[in-house]
Structure formats: structure tokens, C-alpha cells
A and B are shown apart, each in its own frame.
Chain A
């Protein structure tokens, strides 16, 4: 395979794996924070247990998001040196802000949240999960600022063949970034809502002892689905006015842009690959199915008993858990494949963005990371299912009682 395709597939696999887990992280963090808030305010035991159970699943899920994110950050420099050279001066700024302003705080406080259970004051501990949630959103925003600039470059000028950042405000308020952020925000909530409803459906279907626990969780999940399904599509739809003419829109605009590019950059296939349209169709199909489910959920929602007993509904909700994932990944295919042949639209072609490191190195790193992420994906998906099936009693998060510094003098084996 040629190195360009390998590098693209590698980035696609890394970003795809990253996003599968990050989508749930974003939404589930929010729901865990809300449940923990309820637990802190009312002191209710069931909400305390819900925090631990859903928090445990959140933490399992989070770990894969981190490690794939690390590899992504370095992959820009490793495989896409041409992009760093030409546009690094603009594209790097939001990435820098993401790491310093958002991820640093998120990760530090997540560690404190996980390990500080029962050691910290209840309100401090609650504040931590909210900081983690808000910085996760901030992180998503900055990453989408970087991505939005690839879709619609603004706030820069080219001088001596290199892009220079000239207008930070334009970069940070670029509509493909801001709208995509809200699109992803509600997409993450859809993912978490259906995940929570699906896991609850499994336990209610199996008639496990935790009826109240999972009836409440089911209600939270369904409410999240109902509230997010329209905003998700609205913020997606609003982005169409900024979509590249070579991807969708009127044929005349497309023809004039292709003519313009051909005049400036030479002949090339400037129309988006057909795969982009497949992604768009798949995303809309998945959304439509979620909409139908949300309408059914709206009817059933007020009746708690019905939620406990509707066995067909439990199965349907479980089967619907993959829908937001399908929508997310196909949405990314629509967005990113649809940008081709450009890395930065109208500025830098993907093939010119590739590092000059030789096919051997790119192949070796492709194989190494593909195998590694394949294993991680399988192991963590298996663990998520395992801990989800085990139920609240299996949650180890915050389970270890704190040992007072004064009591023991030797390690407690």
C-alpha cells in the first residue's frame, strides 16, 4: 500500500477509536456529574451507588480515550510533517490551548476524583467531577477549533508559503468549529443516554434485584435521549451552509470551485469521494432510528411501571446502543473524507502534508498501532460489557475504604 493511504488509514483508525470512546466519555461524565450532584444534595444511597456504578464504566471507557488521544497528538508531527511545516503556525495554537487549558486540568482532577474517593470532602469531590466534565467539553471545543480550521481556514495569511495566524478571534469563532462542538456535545449525550438506557434495559429484562436502581437509570437515559435528539440534528444541519461546495450543495457552485482550484492548483479530482455521501446517508439513517426510539420513549417515559416491565422495549433499547456510535463515525467519514483531496481546504493537499520519512517507517508504525489499538478496543469493550452486566455490586470505584495515616505502621497486605 502506498504510504499516503497507510498514513490516512492510520489516522482514521486512531481518531475513530479515540472518538468511539470519547463520545461516551463526554456524555457519561455529564450524567455521572448530575447523579453525583443529586447524591450530594439529598444524601440518597441509590444515587451514591449510581455514581459509583456509572462512574466505574466512565473510568474504564476514559482510559482508552486518553491513550488514543496521546497517539493522535503525536501523529500530526510523525506522519503529517508537511502540515506542521506549512500550517503548524495556525493549526498548532488550538492544540496547545487544548492541552494547557483543558486536558491538563481534566486529567489531574480526574485522578483526584478516582483516587480521592472517601478522602475528600463530599462537596470538593463533587466539584472535581464538574471540573472534569467542563474541561472535557473545553477540550472537545479546542480540538474542533483545530478541525474546523481544516474545513474552513480563517484568521490566517500565507507568507513565503507558510500560514501565519493573524486573527485569533476568527479562528476561535469559526462556525464549523462552534457548530460542530454543539453537534458533538449532543451526540455525546445521545451516546451516553442510550448506553445508560441499554444497560438498564439488560438488567430490567433479566429481572435482577436492582429494579429501582435501573428504573431510575433508564429514566435518566431516556430523558437524555429525548432532550438531545433534536439539538444534535439541528447543530448538524446548521453546518451545511459552511460545508465545502465540492462536498455538497448546488452543482454550479461545485463546478465553479473545481474550475477555480484547477486554475490555481492544477488538475486533480476536487469533488469529494463517494464515500463521503455514504457516511452522510448512514448518519441520517441512524439518527432517524434514534428519533423513532425517542418518540416511543416519550410516550412510555411518564409510566415507571411500564418502563420496568416492557420486555420488548428493553430489547429494542439494548439493540439501539450502537446507533449513536454508527452516527458519530459515519458523520466523521462525511466530514473528513468529504474534505479530500485537501488536508487544509484550499490551502494544502493531503498528499503534500505527508512526512518525508519513507514507506517502511510509516508501514511499521501503522502495523504497531493497528495491532495495539485493536487489542485495546477488544479488551476494553469486553470489560465495559462485563462490568455493565455485573451490576452495581461489582463496582470497585471508590470501594476501598481509606486507611488513616495514624493507624497502621506496616503495609496492610
Chain B
């Protein structure tokens, strides 16, 4: 059962990084892609219908960690405590910027929310880069890799720009096109990084004793087709390029 649980951990982590990595990246380059507030709203519309469905991959990955690998929670969250606090703060700031942006009709309000989206996206991306650096470097807790890994945040920028290029039209799409990298390529790197990092972790030592691991793994395997189906429905519904602002 343990390899199956590790596989599910990988699927949900990779799912998060590839899908949410794109909307994080768009958030990071929001000021460059959209030159005024109307353009920025359009840029946000490129991922607006997806971001709720994207971040749940991480929520589920954390859930699988809690159920199947409590040691991983212990090792990463407790060991890399400051990084995960930054990640969570960034996540909350970013999400609230997205949710609140359209709630009040005011230039300064929208400007503040755009700022929250950009700052939050950078915080989350830098925190992930540092987490991957720390794990790839092989130590427990903060280490040299926590700093060396920071440039990995650039991956999210490229991935986001590639995604925006596929989703947008007109001037913002043109600006997105100036970033190097194609979506499949940046996605492949975002798959490779966590897989390599995961190979460095001692999974057996972190596994839940008793049947907790099996229950979690089986539930994840059984649910996965349904979850992918639900997400596919979202992707299909919003498959067209963005030409008008959305609810956010």
C-alpha cells in the first residue's frame, strides 16, 4: 500500500504545481501583462474560473500527508516552519485580493487588491522554491538549499506567462508571449522538481502506523477519476480564450 500512497502524494502535489503554478505565475507577472486596471481584470479572468479548483490539489495533498504520512507533515511543516508560515500568509493575501477585487468599485481599492494578488503570489512562489531547495539539498530543517532554491520561483513566472499566452488575446497575450518557454515544457519541469525532491524523502519512516495509510491511499485512488472528471468539466466549460472580464 505504501507505494500507492506515495504515488497519490505525487499525483496531487504535481497536480497542484502544474495547475495552480500557472495561476500563481500569472499573479506574479500581473503588472507586466496588464498595464491598467481593466487589462488586469482581464488577465485575472484568464485563471479566475480555475483557481478554486487548482488550490484544492494542495489541500488534498496536505490531507493525504496527514492521513498517510504524518511524518512528512512533521518533517516539512515543523522543520521548515517559517517557510510554510510565509506560504500560508501569501496564499491568504493572494486569495483575498482575488475575491475582494470586484467587491468595491474604486480605483484605490482595486489597486490595493492587485497589489495583494502580486505580493501574495510572489510570497507563495518564493516559499515553494525555498521548500524545494531545502529538500533537494537533503537536510532536515532550514539549510543552504533554502536560499539556493529561491530562483526556482522563476519557473512559476515562465509557467504562468505560458499559460496566459494560451488564455488571453490582444495586447496582454502579446506581452505574455515575450516570456520564454512553452506550457508543456514549463509543466514538465514543474513535474520533475517535486518528483526529484520526493525521491530524497524517507517515506517508510514517515508512514502512518496501522490502517490509516491504506484507508487514505484507497480513498484517493477511488476518488481520483471522479475528481479529474469534475475538473475536466470546469476546463471544458471555460476552454475558450478570455475576451471579457469574469466575476472577479
B81, CB-defined interface residue at 8 Å:
yes
Question: Which of B39, B70, B77, B233 is the most central at the interface, judged by chain A CB atoms within 10 Å of its CB?
Answer: B70
Contact B103 A111 (CB under 8 A): no
Contact B103 A369 (CB under 8 A): no
* A98 vs B99: C-alpha distance when bound (angstroms): 24
Closest A residue to B226 by beta carbon equals A105
Contact of A405 among B48, B170, B240 (CB under 8 A): B240
New A-B pairs, 13, CB < 8 Å, besides A100-B64, A115-B246, A159-B209 = A77-B77, A81-B73, A90-B210, A92-B70, A95-B66, A96-B66, A97-B219, A100-B63, A107-B56, A110-B52, A368-B85, A398-B247, A400-B245
Distance between A43 CB and nearest chain B CB, rounded to angstroms: 23
Contact of B73 among A70, A88, A376 (CB under 8 A): A88
Considering only residues 63-84 of chain B, those with a C-beta below 8 Å from chain A are 63-68, 70-71, 73-74, 76-78, 81-82, 84
Contact A97 B67 (CB under 8 A): yes
User: 22 A-B Cβ contacts within 8 A?
Assistant: A67-B91, A70-B55, A74-B77, A77-B76, A81-B73, A89-B210, A89-B212, A89-B213, A92-B68, A92-B212, A96-B68, A104-B57, A104-B60, A111-B50, A114-B247, A165-B208, A165-B210, A166-B210, A369-B89, A405-B240, A405-B241, A411-B168
Distance between A126 CB and nearest chain B CB, rounded to angstroms: 15
Distance between B245 CB and nearest chain A CB, rounded to angstroms: 7
Contact A101 B246 (CB under 8 A): no
**Chain B positions within 8 Å of A212 at CB level:** none
* A88 vs B39: C-alpha distance when bound (angstroms): 47
Contact of A88 among B66, B170, B226 (CB under 8 A): B66
Contact B63 A60 (CB under 8 A): no
Binds B, one of A198-206, A225-233, A276-284, A356-364: A356-364
* A146 vs B42: C-alpha distance when bound (angstroms): 41
By secondary structure, the A interface counts as helix
B96, CB-defined interface residue at 8 Å:
yes
Contact B59 A99 (CB under 8 A): yes
6 A-B pairs closest in CB distance? A88-B70, A96-B67, A164-B210, A99-B63, A77-B77, A92-B66
Contact B63 A356 (CB under 8 A): no
Counted as pairs of residues, one from A and one from B, with CB atoms less than 8 Å apart, the total is: 248
**Chain B positions within 8 Å of A397 at CB level:** 247
Interface size on B, residues (CB 8 A): 75
B143, CB-defined interface residue at 8 Å:
no
**Chain B positions within 8 Å of A105 at CB level:** 226-227, 230
* A368 vs B243: C-alpha distance when bound (angstroms): 38
Closest A residue to B99 by beta carbon equals A63
**Chain A positions within 8 Å of B59 at CB level:** 70, 73, 99, 103-104, 107
B102, CB-defined interface residue at 8 Å:
yes
**Chain A positions within 8 Å of B42 at CB level:** 411, 413
* A117 vs B237: C-alpha distance when bound (angstroms): 11
**Chain B positions within 8 Å of A164 at CB level:** 209-212
Contact A77 B74 (CB under 8 A): yes
Contact of B70 among A89, A109, A112 (CB under 8 A): A89
Distance between A57 CB and nearest chain B CB, rounded to angstroms: 12
B31, CB-defined interface residue at 8 Å:
no
Question: Which of A95, A119, A165 is the most central at the interface, judged by chain B CB atoms within 10 Å of its CB?
Answer: A165
A389, CB-defined interface residue at 8 Å:
no
**Chain A positions within 8 Å of B92 at CB level:** 67, 70-71, 372, 376
**Chain A positions within 8 Å of B208 at CB level:** 88-89, 92-93, 165
B234, CB-defined interface residue at 8 Å:
yes
